[in-house]
Structure 1
Amino acid sequence: MTETIAADVAENVPGGDREVELHAAIDSCDPAPLLMSLVHVTGDPSLLEEFRSRLTITEPGNHYKTGIKPTAPPGQYPADVIADIRSRAHELLSVDMMDRLGTPDRELFGRMATVATSERVDVEFLPILLEQAGFSPSERKVPVTVAPPAEFSVIVIGAGIVGINAAIKLGEAGFSYRVFESRNEIGGTWSRNTYPGAAVDTPSHYYSYSFELNPNWSKYYPSGVEYQKYLRGVVDAYGIVDNISFNTRVLSVIWLESENVWEVTTETADGTREVQRAAAVVTALGMLNSPNIPDIEGLNSFGGTVIHTAEWDENLDLTDKRVVVLGTGCTSVQVVANIVEQVRSMDVVVRSPHWIVPEKTVVHEVSDGERWAMANIPRFNEWFRLRSYWFASDNLYVLPRIDEEWAQTHFSASAANEMVLKTATEYLQKSFADRPDLIEKLTPDFRPYGKRIVKDPGFFKALTRDHVNLHRASFQRVDHDGVLTTEGEYIPADVIILATGFQLEFTTSIEIAGRDGRTLADVWEGGDNPRAYLGIQVAGFPNLFVTAGPNSAPNHGAGHNILSEEHVHYVIECLQYLLENDHAAMDVKQEVLDDYNRRVDEALDKTVWVHPGATVNGYYRNSQGRAIVPCPWRLVDYWTLLREPNPVDFEFIDGAGAKGDNA
């Protein structure tokens, strides 16, 4: 943990006697990571067998695979086991405790992970768990014998989650680099989304860098403000701000074949243009950047305020205003739940509702005791993070996948998918037991996971308020005084909030021209049909790394943070491979890219995102209905694919543009 974040923790943990704090923490914190901490502090692995004998160890995600709902949440310990773990902790832990065990060897770590999760943890998962839980750093695979020369520089476009990570890891690997950020702030999504209630829908203790754990999250799901604070702390702790050029947008990226370099043209806020050269370019723009402003007749004639959630004005006063909200995705439910108390009236206009599930911890604060444990009890933070990752990752892989036999006779996609359907349906019916009209309006016509599952921050409760109305419709037109819906209802309004998300863009907003002058926009058919090898590399564009590219998103679980770490690790390995083998550049073979995407499409055909009968439209799919966002592989599979480049998949370019051997 860096000094910056550690200092932040020290300021916020409860005051008073540390022994009192320790024992209060023991009585309030999660018993599973507490047990693992006991093993670390005592160095006694026999504790594992003692408590394992009292736990039921299941197959990973078994309740999802069978469709049998468990009597307790996955990984939850019985009350008598919890009491005994806490009793043992009171006996064995002290304020001067140290980690005697250190990072366990693979065999012991596997046993510990099995007991910590109450599920069988196979050997294939151990490397990714060790890294993602924060026990060990990302392991370099390509031998490092050549130091990066100063002239082998890298340009990173964007200073969001991926760009910050890239800057840190490029610097640690010895590469000279420069980050260009079009805004005046780091953070990407979390500097743009400042609307009321903006929050992450991935657990706090996992949605962070594995090399920079934060023990001081105030909530189990972080607000956008708190997450942005975390990212600023990371930037400060690693001293990368001097390598970031703010208010500087990249206009074009052109491959100079005669010199094997990229020529990058930038423009600052005052219009000053500069040309830089770099051996490699990493785009860290994400896929959702430009607000999606729907084309609505008369929108510009509205006499009140029109605001998109990604362009929020902090000075906007909603007190006693008549507000109309368009949209019902994650953003809409957050903003509605958070402004309902301020407005005179609110009308929520829903074209296509999402499946919404209850999640109590979305709004719960982390207790003082648990925060103290994160910061002070050895390895508690790492094991808490491991469990956060485990239950939000490949356990969920089965949920969007089609069981052909099941799907022939059910609305849901499989027995696992049926469980999500039942959970969401029961929650909907319970929330509006006396409002069948709302149940009808809020019931989607597609299988769960066809669109992103939304965790309810209080949206359903807000809809029961007397001054709130829900419309299953869209905007037909807007005039000076309000909105006419497609169902013919006229809604007078003072403020229109567009919670309509972002346009899906994979880097094509920038002119990027590769070999033979072909542009990425042309290759990707204007951005509608993006394809990349491993979601990162495109044939004809040497040393261009498109992070968070097509078919790379972990849509069944985890979060953008793991994608960031996977892609940055792969970029560093590729660049080091070039240096070790005296190559100037690497270009993925077209046939390799095509074969990879054939396998991607075949795997996605078996999911709710593109399966016949999946008629839902959403940002996951392009105009032809092909899923261009989700990765079809398990997280562990994709992580493994990205450990190091496979030389046979590339053409290598040596000095003066000559192609080298594939090794």
Structure 2
Amino acid sequence: MTLISPDQPTYVLAPVTDVDRHALDAAIDAAEPGALLMALIHHSGDTGLLDEFAAGLDQERRRAQAQGHPPAIMGEYPPAVAAQVRDRARRLLHAPLTPRIAVPDDALFRRMAQVCVDDTVGDEYVPHLREQGGFEAARRVVPTTRKPPADFTVAIIGCGMIGLNAAIKLGQAGFRYQVFEERDDLGGTWSRNTYPGAAVDTPSHFYSYSFELNPRWSKYYPTGTEYLQYLHHVADKYDIHPHIAFSTKVLGCRWDEDTQVWDLTVRHSDGSVRTHHANAVITATGVLNAAAIPDIDGMNTFHGETMHTAQWRHDVDLRGKRVVVLGTGCTSVQVVAGIADQVESLDVVLRQPHWIVPERKVAADVPEAMRWALEHIPYFHQWFRVKTYWWAADKGWSIPRIDEEWYATHVSASPANDALMQVCLDYLDQAFAERPDLKETLTPDFPPFAKRIVKDPGFFDAVKRDNVSLHRASLQRIHPDGVVTTEGKFIAADVIIWATGFKLEYLGFLDVVGRDGITLAQEWADENPRAYLGITVPGFPNLFVTAGPNAAPNHGGGHNVTSEEHVHYIVECLQHLIENGHTAMEPTRQATDDYNRRVDEELDKTVWKHAGTATGYYRNKAGRAWVACPWRLVDYWAMLRAPQPRDYVFTSAPRD
């Protein structure tokens, strides 16, 4: 993968000259027509194209309905309209590719967005889509009349997607920072998960930083290796490496009330343990860190090889081996699809299946002509990102929400939830028309979204192979030469692969001591973590938790969205301290309790709380939905534009 690396952010565009006409024609043929039409409007300045094509889309929709045709895939232009867009582009796009309209005003932007995605776009989405589409940087809200003092430092714990983002944005805002990374590489989950088939399950042209678009993705859903390469590119471009201490583990943090700083106990790569000081701490460690390996009788007696997917052993040759995989979530389906053709036999043991959806592009390459369009046609990439995001984000907000009358008599939770379930059931019917046994094994008995939805990377094809068997069970005991399932079946094995995910830990592995000696472990005891906006905690001044409790966008979008939102909010908080001469801030107990009361009330209407028979990490041991954020992505984004001073307690000087 070759990445472009200009000095300016990717939302700053320059005219494209010396355009190869053959390359442009091929790009027009390959380009997504909605985004291509928007690029054409930027280039020509002809906003009349919006009304013309909006009318054409409506006409084609009514014609298809009158003829009894099934509705088109959401947002996909009908062939006739797509052909008209391409024909107009061939006539109007020419070198140099110089936009006559740069980023349009809000009213025009909204009109363009609606025609691009072929859907109604509310006013509240305009600033959100401008930012997430990569048209402009996140707008600063807190005044910036004062620069951060030279001795004001921020400690960032972890250098995955969020930690790297935090480093970039803190540096741009003028804050000194230090990143502590326990591993010997950045990238978080993408340096940890190197199993066969490891890939992002969110579209690559969206699952990336809005301020650093990459037009050269080789796949629509990139491999883990390619995504890690992208993160390395970002770190190099923004010169982050000098600020990262690798192989360095933060053991604990203690707030010093006298000095108004955090004292961090850190074990360095040479084994020495030292104390570092920081005015603020950002935790960017994620929540799925420690591999969850079940404790099964006889584990130590096994004569073969074992490995967890997050601790993949590349020294183990699977060719010709008898392999048992435990689990059937996102990781398992990727591993099974990746190794089924290498092994002698593959037995997949699953306690509960997930709902699996078809996705045409999950393993598809991005054609070279499409990559050319993304890289060379001004604003095409931004609009393609908007369209990808639109249909992968808040359009799914209603699906996990419960219609009580419907749910009382259905497996699905509502008509919207049922529509997705029917897509999954149709996919099962088509995939296993000749194998009703496999269909039965892989059909869940709970509503979609109660467990994470899985996009099929080739799993359904893999399990139909003669050397693959499915077992609706768990493991009861391990013998030297195999395993016994809870159904009493013995399976001979040379290798056992734990595709069992991670222990969900909201900083339980870190010793954090706040004001008056209270520990975060005490504050979050009994698997009941609470935070204001999912980020700050009463009693822990200047501690900012990213990917905190009830902050995950489980209905759609991706981790990258909340990553940027959290980092933006933190920078705004720190700037508020500087502007007002404060040394520390923490949320009030009332604001935190009020916020979490609203969170619980909203989640009580969802399948994340009332999950039927589904098990998994979405709920804690008391049954509380502790992972999902209940708000639409656009609403949560709006909440995180800047701190509300009334919800915080500020300290203006060290106490005597």
Both proteins in one fold, TM over 0.5: yes
Residues of 2 paired with 1:623 and 1:503: CA distance? 13
Aligned: 1:609 with 2:611:
no
Residue pair 2:4, 2:214 contacting (<8 A) in 1 also: no
Residue pair 1:220, 1:365 contacting (<8 A) in 2 also: yes
Partner residue, 1:137: 137
1:497: how far off?
0.5
Residue pair 2:253, 2:512 contacting (<8 A) in 1 also: yes
Aligned: 1:598 with 2:600:
no
In structure 1, what residue type is equivalent to 2:515? R
Aligned: 1:388 with 2:361:
no
Residues of 1 paired with 2:401 and 2:450: CA distance? 10
Partner residue, 2:13: none
Residues of 2 paired with 1:298 and 1:516: CA distance? 46
Residues of 1 paired with 2:110 and 2:522: CA distance? 48
Residues of 2 paired with 1:113 and 1:130: CA distance? 10
Aligned: 1:579 with 2:578:
yes
Aligned: 1:25 with 2:22:
no
**Match of residue 639, structure 1, among 637, 640, 654:** 637
Residues of 1 paired with 2:7 and 2:450: CA distance? 41
In structure 1, what residue type is equivalent to 2:209? Y
In structure 1, what residue type is equivalent to 2:506? F
Partner residue, 2:53: 51
Q: Secondary structure at the match of 1:99?
A: coil
Partner residue, 1:557: 556
In structure 1, what residue type is equivalent to 2:357? V
Residue pair 2:3, 2:233 contacting (<8 A) in 1 also: no
In structure 1, what residue type is equivalent to 2:41? V
Partner residue, 1:256: 256
Partner residue, 2:353: 353
Q: Secondary structure at the match of 1:552?
A: coil
1:17: how far off?
7.9
Q: Secondary structure at the match of 1:362?
A: coil
The correspondence of residues 472-551 of structure 1 with structure 2, limited to 5 A, is: 472-525=472-525, 528-551=527-550
Residues of 1 paired with 2:273 and 2:59: CA distance? 61
The correspondence of residues 423-438 of structure 1 with structure 2, limited to 5 A, is: 423-438=423-438
Using structure 1 for the length normalisation, give the TM-score. 0.95
1:6: how far off?
9.7
In structure 2, what residue type is equivalent to 1:598? R
Question: C-alpha deviations, 1:406-441, integer Å up to 9, x for none?
Answer: 112222111000011111111112211122221221
Residues of 1 paired with 2:255 and 2:315: CA distance? 44
Question: C-alpha deviations, 1:212-251, integer Å up to 9, x for none?
Answer: 0000111111110110000000000000110000000001
Residues of 1 paired with 2:107 and 2:145: CA distance? 31
1:56: how far off?
2.7
Question: C-alpha deviations, 1:356-401, integer Å up to 9, x for none?
Answer: 1111100111111110000000100000000010001111100000
Residues of 1 paired with 2:263 and 2:377: CA distance? 50
Residues of 2 paired with 1:79 and 1:628: CA distance? 44
1:49: how far off?
1.1
1:317: how far off?
0.9
Using structure 2 for the length normalisation, give the TM-score. 0.96
Partner residue, 1:661: none
Residues of 1 paired with 2:227 and 2:99: CA distance? 29
Residues of 1 paired with 2:393 and 2:454: CA distance? 16
Residues of 2 paired with 1:216 and 1:342: CA distance? 30
1:5: how far off?
7.3
Question: C-alpha deviations, 1:607-661, integer Å up to 9, x for none?
Answer: 00112x6242211110001011000000011000000000000111121238xxx
Residue pair 2:3, 2:214 contacting (<8 A) in 1 also: no
Partner residue, 1:568: 567
Residues of 2 paired with 1:656 and 1:201: CA distance? 47
Aligned: 1:4 with 2:5:
yes
1:315: how far off?
2.4
Residues of 2 paired with 1:93 and 1:329: CA distance? 45
Aligned: 1:652 with 2:654:
no
Residue pair 1:57, 1:120 contacting (<8 A) in 2 also: no
Residues of 1 paired with 2:437 and 2:120: CA distance? 44
Residue pair 1:159, 1:186 contacting (<8 A) in 2 also: yes
Question: C-alpha deviations, 1:294-353, integer Å up to 9, x for none?
Answer: 111111221010000000122221110000000000000000001011000000001011
The correspondence of residues 100-249 of structure 1 with structure 2, limited to 5 A, is: 100-249=100-249
Rate the CA distance shift 1:29–1:3 in 2: closer, same or farther, 3 A.
closer
Residues of 1 paired with 2:434 and 2:361: CA distance? 26
Residues of 2 paired with 1:2 and 1:216: CA distance? 6
1:58: how far off?
13
Residues of 2 paired with 1:239 and 1:521: CA distance? 35
Rate the CA distance shift 1:484–1:166 in 2: closer, same or farther, 3 A.
same
1:151: how far off?
1.3
Question: C-alpha deviations, 1:256-281, integer Å up to 9, x for none?
Answer: 01111100010023311111111100
Rate the CA distance shift 1:368–1:6 in 2: closer, same or farther, 3 A.
farther
Partner residue, 2:14: none
In structure 1, what residue type is equivalent to 2:421? L
Residue pair 1:332, 1:499 contacting (<8 A) in 2 also: yes
Aligned: 1:463 with 2:463:
yes
Residue pair 2:170, 2:571 contacting (<8 A) in 1 also: yes
1:90: how far off?
0.8
1:79: how far off?
1.5
Moved more, 48-57 or 418-427: 48-57
Q: Secondary structure at the match of 2:497?
A: strand
Moved more, 431-440 or 472-481: 431-440
Residues of 1 paired with 2:445 and 2:81: CA distance? 43
Rate the CA distance shift 1:349–1:6 in 2: closer, same or farther, 3 A.
farther
Partner residue, 2:15: none
1:199: how far off?
0.6
1:57: how far off?
9.8
Residue pair 1:138, 1:569 contacting (<8 A) in 2 also: yes
Residues of 2 paired with 1:574 and 1:502: CA distance? 31
Residues of 2 paired with 1:626 and 1:437: CA distance? 35
Residue pair 1:290, 1:502 contacting (<8 A) in 2 also: yes
Q: Secondary structure at the match of 2:5?
A: helix
Residue pair 1:355, 1:453 contacting (<8 A) in 2 also: yes
Question: C-alpha deviations, 1:471-490, integer Å up to 9, x for none?
Answer: 00000011111100000000
Residue pair 2:411, 2:445 contacting (<8 A) in 1 also: no
Residue pair 2:197, 2:338 contacting (<8 A) in 1 also: yes
Question: C-alpha deviations, 1:422-467, integer Å up to 9, x for none?
Answer: 1111111221112222122111121110000000011011111111
Q: Secondary structure at the match of 1:294?
A: coil
Residue pair 1:58, 1:119 contacting (<8 A) in 2 also: no
In structure 2, what residue type is equivalent to 1:548? A
Aligned: 1:440 with 2:440:
yes
Q: Secondary structure at the match of 2:567?
A: helix
Q: Secondary structure at the match of 1:361?
A: coil
Q: Secondary structure at the match of 2:149?
A: coil
Residue pair 1:58, 1:120 contacting (<8 A) in 2 also: no
The correspondence of residues 74-93 of structure 1 with structure 2, limited to 5 A, is: 74-93=74-93
The correspondence of residues 361-400 of structure 1 with structure 2, limited to 5 A, is: 361-400=361-400
Residues of 1 paired with 2:128 and 2:430: CA distance? 39
In structure 1, what residue type is equivalent to 2:441? K
In structure 2, what residue type is equivalent to 1:441? T
Residue pair 1:542, 1:586 contacting (<8 A) in 2 also: yes
Moved more, 440-449 or 383-392: 440-449
Partner residue, 1:411: 411
1:40: how far off?
0.5
Residues of 1 paired with 2:645 and 2:248: CA distance? 35
1:3: how far off?
5.0
Residues of 1 paired with 2:655 and 2:544: CA distance? 19
